[in-house]
């Protein structure tokens, strides 16, 4: 069983929003529950939706591969399709915008992780152009962090997510 401390810190992905990502148009977001079934004709975006979920997981849990010199974000974007993640009807340069809403399992507030991935052209590696973690239903001033603020202070490269290396960065800043 889980302890009270573990359950207090648990958040569940409840909604995914996507803009300019392949053929997946989720401008208003797709609400998720504990069990989700995706049914539709070929080419309707089912696999692309699963790809976004795998991307979130892979870019968060995988750290920099020192041997190959690639970050978890770079590996996750490569698996997602690299520069081909941009909707074919959108001209470059453009951002693929993803948002993930997490709700707590207790009385704590939920939060939203916003991510903009810049696609410059087919030959340039994609980079993080914006990354924000904020409490749900709060004004922008209440952001936990933004790439603009935190990234400048830490010189974080644009090929790595702040969220995936947050504890390491805090540790470095406290030394």
The residues, any chain, with a CB within 8 Å of residue 159's CB and separated by 6 or more, are 71, 73, 74, 125, 127, 128
CA gap 56, 79 in Å, rounded:
11
pLDDT tier at 95, thresholds 50, 70, 90: very high
Torsion of CA 85, 87, 90, 94, to 10 degrees: -30
pLDDT score of 57:
87
Range ranked top by mean pLDDT from 10-14, 60-64, 79-83, 101-105: 79-83
CA 74 – CA 125 distance, rounded (Å): 9
Q: What is the pLDDT of residues 67-86, one digit of tens each?
A: 667 788 888 898 999 999 99
- Cα–Cα distance for residue pair 75/57, rounded to 1 Å: 11
Q: Residue 23 pLDDT more than 90?
A: yes
Widest CA span of the chain, in angstroms? 54
Asked whether the beta carbons of 20 and 117 are under 8 A apart, the reply is no
């Amino acid at each position: 069983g889980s302890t009270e401390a573990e359950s207090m810190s648990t958040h569940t992905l409840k909604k995914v929003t996507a803009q300019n990502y392949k053929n997946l148009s989720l401008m208003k977001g797709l609400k998720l529950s504990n069990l989700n079934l995706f049914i539709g004709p070929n080419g309707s975006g089912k696999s692309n939706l699963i790809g976004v979920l795998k991307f979130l997981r892979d870019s968060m849990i995988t750290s920099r591969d020192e041997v190959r010199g690639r970050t978890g974000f770079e590996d996750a974007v490569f698996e997602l399709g690299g520069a081909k993640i941009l909707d074919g009807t959108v001209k470059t340069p453009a951002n693929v915008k993803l948002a993930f809403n997490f709700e707590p399992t207790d009385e704590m507030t939920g939060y939203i992780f916003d991510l903009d991935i810049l696609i410059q052209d087919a030959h340039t590696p994609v980079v993080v152009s914006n990354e924000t973690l904020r409490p749900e239903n709060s004004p922008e001033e209440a952001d936990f962090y933004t790439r603009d603020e935190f990234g400048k202070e830490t010189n974080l490269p644009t090929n790595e997510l702040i969220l995936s290396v947050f504890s390491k960065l805090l540790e470095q800043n406290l030394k």
